[in-house]
Amino acid sequence: MKNQFQHIPSHPPKTLGRVFILALFTVFFASCTTVGPNYTPPKTQADGHWHTKLQDGLREKLDGPKNEDETSESVNSDTFPKINEMQYLTTWWETLEDPLLIDLMSKAIDANLSLKQGMAALRQASAQRGITNSRRYPTVDGDTSYYRKGSGSTSNGTGKESDIFAIGLDAGWELDLFGGIRRANEAADADLQASEAQLKDILVSITAEVALNYLDVRVYQTRLDVAQANIISQKETSELIQSRYQAGLSDELAFKQAMYNLKSTQSQLPTLRIGLEAAKNRLAVLVGQMPGALHGMLKAHDVIPSAPILVAVGVPADALRRRPDIRKAERELAAQTARIGVAEADLYPKFNLLGSIGLESLKAGDILEWSSRVWRIGPGVSWKLFDAGSIRKNIDVQTAIQEQFLLAYEQSVLFALEEVENALTAFVEEQVRKDRLLEAVAAAQRAAELAQDQYTAGLIDFSNVLDAQRSLLSFEDALALSDGRVVANLVTLYKTLGGGWEAVHPAE
């Protein structure tokens, strides 16, 4: 304020009316003009169907029974009710029908630290949008001051000093004539939406990681059970060979072979326990707890969850619509497109309405008197007339960044389709492998029994028993791994389809 104020005349000047009319005109004009390109979402071309042949439980959609009396031969109506074919992706882990997994998933959604970081980032983006949006409105600053002023006479050297007391309000409003502020708001809105998509993408990854680590726990437990069962069988064989050796019915070679076969199987237990411990600890961290916190809950060995009979995968367009990483890439492209307009707005002048009103007096006691009032109002214009081309170079920079975001979006679409195709193939082929391993285990069990009987009868050498026992252990261990891998591939498929992000609705 200080000396800049003019005393308010008795009657409001006509200038105030003119300024008001000018403000209305500029606001109307600003609403009709916006610099920079208007954003148009990129058109994504996707095939109508997946390249991978849908089989072994995979369907584009799940068809419920047409009426109460009509049911499918392969689908139970209670298991697959009449729902939108992709609705089950919301909480896909429930299709595995494992109560403990469902409980762990709920814990992870409530307490996972990466998810909490994503929520904090979303709140940050929301607050940043509020800051950007505030530029649309006038700003008002309050000010109070006191200072002492002096002046000198050029004729006799005598001077005069006085005290100045001032209280006032300063207001300013940038008129968005060319739409630079509106483009900044568009960018902030798109950034917020990208942050929302990022949070959903984190949730998709977290739910998949919880399920995969839970499966690791069950697979390691199953492999330990397999190894322990084979140890019992091999120990019985070793004791039998030892008795025969001591009775002179067998040679030392067979006894030593039985011993190293047993010890070899026992040596696998520490490695399996290490993997089990790591999976439990990782699972605890995923649900926001200290390593070791879930050991009591996971102490009992349980079976590996089974995949549902049928799985709806939709069509490529469904996956592209659902996947939050693609939504994030598209919103980042929209934000960068708006920033080109923000850069272009610097080519044009900036118009402001400035105003001040306050009180100014030589005495503190007179500060509230009507005669102490002062005011100032009027337009302001600023225009960068020379910048050595920096503004246009900045426009080029923002345009080049937009091109990068467009390419990143197109790349994310290709990666998404690639991931789904790979997941479909892995799920289908691993089921084929599991079926063959089931047959191999059955044959190996029978071969081990026959080898044991024939060796006892003295018909074959003990090396045949060793080979049969090793094969049985190998096939049973491979079957446990394949059993878990089938479900793990299904979890990966759910993840690549963008399932699970609707499980939480964080508030902004």
Q: Does 25 map to a domain?
A: no
Mean pLDDT over residues 98-107, rounded?
A: 95
d(CA 267, CA 260): 10
Confidence band of 507 (pLDDT split at 50, 70, 90): very low
Give pLDDT, residue 503: 66
Virtual CA dihedral for 235, 239, 241, 243, nearest 10 degrees? Answer: 180
Q: What is the chain's Cα-based Rg?
A: 38
62 with 76: CB under 8 angstroms? Answer: no
Give pLDDT, residue 143: 80
d(CA 131, CA 140): 15
Q: Does 230 map to a domain?
A: yes
Mean pLDDT over residues 336-358, rounded?
A: 86
Write out 40-94 in H/E/C secondary structure: CCCCCCCCCCCCCCCCCCEECCCCCCCECCECCCCCCCCCCCCCCCCHHHHHHHH
Residue 47 in 3-state DSSP? coil
160 phi/psi in degrees, rounded to 5? -135, 135
Kind and range of the H or E run holding 73? none
Q: Does 499 map to a domain?
A: yes
Mean pLDDT over residues 371-396, rounded?
A: 81
Give pLDDT, residue 302: 93
Q: What is the mean pLDDT of the chain?
A: 83
Q: What is the DSSP string of 107-134?
A: HHHHH-HHHHHHHHHHHHHHHHHHHHHG
Confidence band of 87 (pLDDT split at 50, 70, 90): low
Residue 500 in 3-state DSSP? coil
Q: How far is CA 452 from CA 53, 440, 466, in A?
A: 44, 18, 9
Q: Rounded to two decimals, what is the model's pTM?
A: 0.81
**Residue 300 reports pLDDT greater than 80:** yes
Tally the domains of the chain. Answer: 1
**Residue 25 reports pLDDT greater than 70:** no
Give pLDDT, residue 275: 96
Provide the 8-state DSSP code for 89: G
pLDDT digits (tens, 9 = 90+) for 455-489: 888 888 888 999 999 999 999 999 999 999 999 99
pLDDT > 90 fraction of the chain, expressed in percent and rounded: 48
Give pLDDT, residue 501: 81
d(CA 5, CA 27): 27
Q: Does 462 map to a domain?
A: yes
Domain extent, residue 408, equals: 44-138+178-346+392-503
Angle between helix 268-286 and helix 252-266 axes, rounded to 10 deg: 10
pLDDT > 70 fraction of the chain, expressed in percent and rounded: 83
48 phi/psi in degrees, rounded to 5? -70, -25
d(CA 191, CA 209): 27
Residue 297 in 3-state DSSP? coil
pLDDT digits (tens, 9 = 90+) for 164-197: 777 777 777 778 788 888 999 999 999 999 999 9
**Residue 77 reports pLDDT greater than 80:** no
Provide the 8-state DSSP code for 70: B
**Residue 372 reports pLDDT greater than 90:** no
Q: Does 485 map to a domain?
A: yes
For residue 97, the domain's CATH number is 1.20.1600.10
Q: Does 13 map to a domain?
A: no
Q: Does 453 map to a domain?
A: yes
Mean pLDDT over residues 40-54, rounded?
A: 84
84 or 298, higher pLDDT: 298
Structure tokens at 38: 């208007």
**Residue 61 reports pLDDT greater than 80:** no
**Residue 135 reports pLDDT greater than 90:** no
Q: Does 229 map to a domain?
A: yes
Lowest mean pLDDT among 72-76, 430-434, 435-439: 72-76
Give pLDDT, residue 469: 92
Q: How far is CA 42 from CA 31, 35, 441, in A?
A: 26, 20, 52
476 with 452: CB under 8 angstroms? Answer: no
314 or 448, higher pLDDT: 448
